[in-house]
Structure 1
Amino acid sequence: MTYRRHQAVEVLEIDGETILLNQETLAVTKLNETGGRIWELLSENRTLEQVAERICGEFDGAEAHRIREDVALFLDQMIEIGLIHRAG
């Protein structure tokens, strides 16, 4: 299964943080640096494993299973608030 960003979301980056505005719900979400990086990676359809692998490669010493769990939780939360969707 792949994930992709919702098209109705505007993005603004300020001081290393990503601010998202869902134009349909007018909800604003602030992401930290890692969340912003995941958002960036989802500009193309990617699987949970692909995202977790990229994030793990960018953080030396990080435990791969922990990163996968954190990315899965983040993706579920982003789906719940309508910022990303499952693409297949």
Structure 2
Amino acid sequence: MKTFYIKKKNYETIRFDDEENVTIINLDDSMVTNLNRAGGNCWRLLDQKQDVDTLAMALLADQNSSERDSIDIDQLKRDIQDFLDQMVDCGLVDYA
């Protein structure tokens, strides 16, 4: 059974000039979370419910073919699951 995730509503997002990094402020507890490019891309996609597989496919689609060929998909999915678990712990993402 797949687990789906979605953003919670009470946050503020700040993108800097390079748009590579994203800072999220949880308005419930004022906790600040900084995301790298991959995390920022996952965050953007979590406007709609997603699971690990759909996020992995979306991240792979952003890569050129030579980069895609060098990515270990199983490791990518583990990394995404770790990210989602941390975002749930931070109170920014919920189960959908």
Give the structure-1-normalised TM-score: 0.92
Write 1 or 2 for the structure with the bigger share of strand.
Answer: 1
Pairwise CA RMSD: 1.0
Amino acid at match of 1:30: N
Of 11, 18, 25 in structure 2, the residue corresponding to residue 21 of structure 1 is 25
Amino acid at match of 1:11: T
User: Residue 48 of structure 1: CA displacement?
Assistant: 1.4
Of 20, 40, 43 in structure 2, the residue corresponding to residue 39 of structure 1 is 43
In the alignment, is residue 85 of structure 1 matched against residue 89 of structure 2?
A: no
Structure 1: unaligned runs, 5 residues or longer: none
Structure 1 vs Structure 2: percent identity of aligned residues? 26
In the alignment, is residue 50 of structure 1 matched against residue 54 of structure 2?
A: yes
User: Residue 8 of structure 1: CA displacement?
Assistant: 0.2
Amino acid at match of 1:50: T
Q: Which residue of 2 aligns with 1:11?
A: 13
Q: After the TM superposition, which parts of structure 1 deviate over 4 Å for at least 4 consecutive aligned residues?
A: none
Give the structure-2-normalised TM-score: 0.85
Structure of greater Rg: 2
Q: Secondary structure at the match of 2:25?
A: strand
